[in-house]
Amino acid sequence: MTLALGCIADDYTGASDLANSLAKAGLRTVQTIGVPDAGLALPEIDAIVCAFKIRSVPAADAVAAALQAETWLRGQGAGHVLYKVCSTFDSTDDGNIGPVTDALRARAGEPIAIVNSAFPEAGRTIYQGHLFVGALPLNESPLKDHPLNPMTDANLVRVLARQSRSGVGLVDRKTIAAGAAAVAARLAALVQEGKGAAIADTIEDADLETLGRVAMTHRVSTGASGLGLGIARALVASGRVSAAATGTAGLEVVGGPAACLAGSCSQATLGQIAEAERIMPVLRLDAGRLVTDGIAETDRAIAFAAERLGAGPVLVASSGTPAEVAAVQAKFGRDAAGHAIEAGMARIAEALVARGVRRLVVAGGETSGAVVERLAIPAFRLGPEIAPGVPVLHALGIAGGPMVLALKSGNFGAPTFFADALKLMP
Ligand SMILES: Nc1ncnc2c1ncn2[C@@H]1O[C@H](COP(=O)(O)OP(=O)(O)O)[C@@H](O)[C@H]1O
Ligand SMILES: O=C(O)[C@@H](O)C(=O)COP(=O)(O)O
């Protein structure tokens, strides 16, 4: 196997979002959980996305995981390594986008890395270095209330500089509109100024195609699935990947009981849970009790689901409004609350799978990470797209017959997301 592109994703929903964009662009893509065991049989592919749960861990741990993956990906032939971060740049001033980008760039011996989290299809654009979520600057968007990484500054040059050892510059829209040569010249000028990272503006996919062409002349870059799309299109245009390839599988029937779990507290997910209440039984967990008495609260959820699974899908949600999240965090601490709730959701998932669930929808990046780790699924191949950034995933390398999952980024999907997903997971 010789890879055209190796990717390291900082969370699991982000990984499936990127894998979806690469597959749609024609790259035969597999998503693995971490670096796969040597024994895992992989089909002939153009791109691998190694998924990690390193968005909100200490920076040194994120760097170590990313460097281990980089070594493995280069060993598989990857000439370019993309570090996949969130399109809303979820991170804190302690990391991890800056430290990991610095480390990958140093390892690759590159003077500068493009950093671009735009994803126009999902409403994430960047202008003069400022990230917009739809019509709102990042700091006015619902991301200001994220439970783990509240984003309070829309200026990505500033945000990245606070968490990097490298100086950070800007490649503005005018330069990008002037084409790949102009971008390359701007990067060279930034290197002369002592910068090691460049936030790149992006308004539309054409900007990403230009950035993708330039990124391919470097060994490393950092971005969301929009930059992945730009790189994938550049690979196809250059003939390094056959455009005839089809990246995704069609609809496959798995059958059996289906369940949904939501740990995301994003505005989008809260709306999707409310909508799901119209079509399936929904249990709202007591988040505080998940922290203080996790076994009892998760047993309650397991019993609730077990009684109803025979009649149709069910949804179990820990999700709360910003005020509810703030109350739980004030009582137990942000990280302790997050970890305990994630562990509870993972325990519920494990119990439901033991009761025959082979179709599972999970909302929330950290939540999905906890669930997939507990289920010990080593890899996924891509199925149809449910919503921009959210594909159906077919588990690879597990016992017990076929299983499909959807791992939804908190912010993605229409209000009818849970029904939309289950329709494509028959
Ligand atoms: N009611 C709640 N109160 C506090 N934290 C919560 C609650 N429900 C879930 N969480 C935590 O909030 C975090 C949500 O993150 P994540 O799953 O990545 O969602 P998103 O995709 O929206 O970022 C997780 O750590 C989760 O355990
Ligand atoms: O790039 C994105 O927005 C997503 O792929 C992503 O990373 C989402 O993260 P969560 O919202 O934490 O699921």
pLDDT at residue number 241: 84
CA of 89 from ligand 2 middle (Å) equals 9
Q: Quote the CA–CA distance of 14 and 30 in Å, as a whole number.
A: 14
Q: Quote the CA–CA distance of 274 and 291 in Å, as a whole number.
A: 24
| Nearest ligand 2 atom to alpha carbon 16 | 5
Q: Is the CB of 257 under 6 A from ligand 1?
A: no
Return the amino acid letter for 294.
Answer: G
Element (H, E) at 106: helix 97-108
Q: Locate all alpha helices (DSSP H) within 204-357, ordered by sequence.
A: 205-215, 225-237, 267-276, 287-292, 294-308, 322-332, 334-354
Residue 99: pLDDT band (50, 70, 90) is very high
CATH 3.40.50.2000 assigned to 258-423: no
Assess whether pLDDT exceeds 80 at residue 246: no
The domain limits of the chain are 5-237, 258-423
CA of 14 from ligand 1 middle (Å) equals 15
Q: Quote the CA–CA distance of 58 and 74 in Å, as a whole number.
A: 25
Please spell the DSSP secondary structure of 154-205, one letter per residue: -BHHHHHHHT-SSEEEEE-HHHHHT-HHHHHHHHHHHHHTTEEEEEE-BSSH
Q: Is the CB of 91 under 6 A from ligand 2?
A: no
CATH architecture for the domain at 5-237? 3-Layer(aba) Sandwich (3.40)
Q: Quote the CA–CA distance of 125 and 391 in Å, as a whole number.
A: 22
Backbone angles phi, psi at 408, to 5 degrees: -100, 125
Give the count of alpha carbons within 13 A of 222, CB side only. Answer: 26
In tens, the pLDDT along 273-321 reads 999 999 999 999 999 999 999 999 999 999 999 999 999 999 999 999 9
- What is the DSSP pairing of strand 282-284 with strand 258-262? unpaired
When pLDDT is averaged across residues 29-47 and rounded to a whole number, the result is 87
Instruction: Note the ligand closest to the C-alpha atom of 389.
Output: 2
Q: ipTM value of the model? A: 0.97
Q: Quote the CA–CA distance of 51 and 65 in Å, as a whole number.
A: 10
How much is the pTM? 0.93
